[in-house]
């Protein structure tokens, strides 16, 4: 999967013109952690919703297949 989303450091430099390494380093770490929390939360919510669809037969895949698809939808390693 090609990722055209800027890294947190690139974002801060582009958006705010911040070039101070200490400032961007701290902000980068916080932004990465924040983004990971949101991705994890979104994936958890989707798992919950799709679990119900599998349970009621609306999806013709096993729960394990659905869960694997969700978990591979957006890797946390892409958040930099």
Q: Is the pLDDT of residue 42 over 80?
A: yes
Q: Based on C-alpha coordinates, what's the Rg of the chain?
A: 17
More confident residue, 20 or 9: 9
Cα 42 to Cα 10: distance, rounded to the nearest angstrom: 24
- pLDDT for 13: 80
Structure tokens at 71: 């978990």
Residue 16 CA neighbour count, 13 Å, CB half? 11
Read off the pLDDT band of 1 (50, 70, 90): low
Q: What is the mean pLDDT of residues 33-56?
A: 83
pTM: 0.61
Alpha-carbon torsion 58, 45, 10, 18, what sign? positive
């Amino acid at each position: 999967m090609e990722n055209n989303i800027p890294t947190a450091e690139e974002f801060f430099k582009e958006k705010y013109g911040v070039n101070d390494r200490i400032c961007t380093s701290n902000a980068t770490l916080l932004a990465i952690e924040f983004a990971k929390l949101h991705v994890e939360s979104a994936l958890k919510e989707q798992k919950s919703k799709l679990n119900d669809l599998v349970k009621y037969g609306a999806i013709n895949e096993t729960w394990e297949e659905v869960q694997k698809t969700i978990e591979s939808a957006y890797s946390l390693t892409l958040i930099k």
